[in-house]
Amino acid sequence: MDILVTYDVSTESKRGRRRLRHVAIVCCAFGLRVQKSVFECSLTDMQFEEMRFKLLDIINEKEDSLRIYHIRGDVEEFGLSPGVDFDAPLIV
């Protein structure tokens, strides 16, 4: 499944800044950063549940926002964000 993960974590406290880093680390493990707080992911159902569980364990639902969009259909891209071919080899 193809998904888009977006988040807005409160950074007014040291704990908030730590949560922000941890959310980014989890998202990097599952997808590709396309903007500062936006990730594109192509996941199996099991990977999706694992990622979702980890993210929900990190965020503070009273201070932060996490949105997961399931992508169905084509995506149009313009400007500096190159397309992501999840089927191509990944070079690190």
CB 60 within 8 A of CB 19: yes
pLDDT mean for each 10 residues of the chain (92 residues): 94 94 96 93 95 96 95 76 64 58
Structure tokens, 79: 């400007």
- Model pTM score: 0.80
The whole-number pLDDT of residue 86 equals 62
Which class for 8: exposed (0-12), middle (13-18), buried (19 or more C-beta within 10 A)?
middle
Q: What domains appear along the chain, each with residue ranges and CATH number?
A: 2-70 (3.30.70.240)
Could you write out the DSSP letters of every residue in 12-76? Answer: SSHHHHHHHHHHHHHHHHHSEEEETTEEEEE--HHHHHHHHHHHHHHS-TTT-EEEEEE--S---
The whole-number pLDDT of residue 4 equals 95
The whole-number pLDDT of residue 81 equals 62
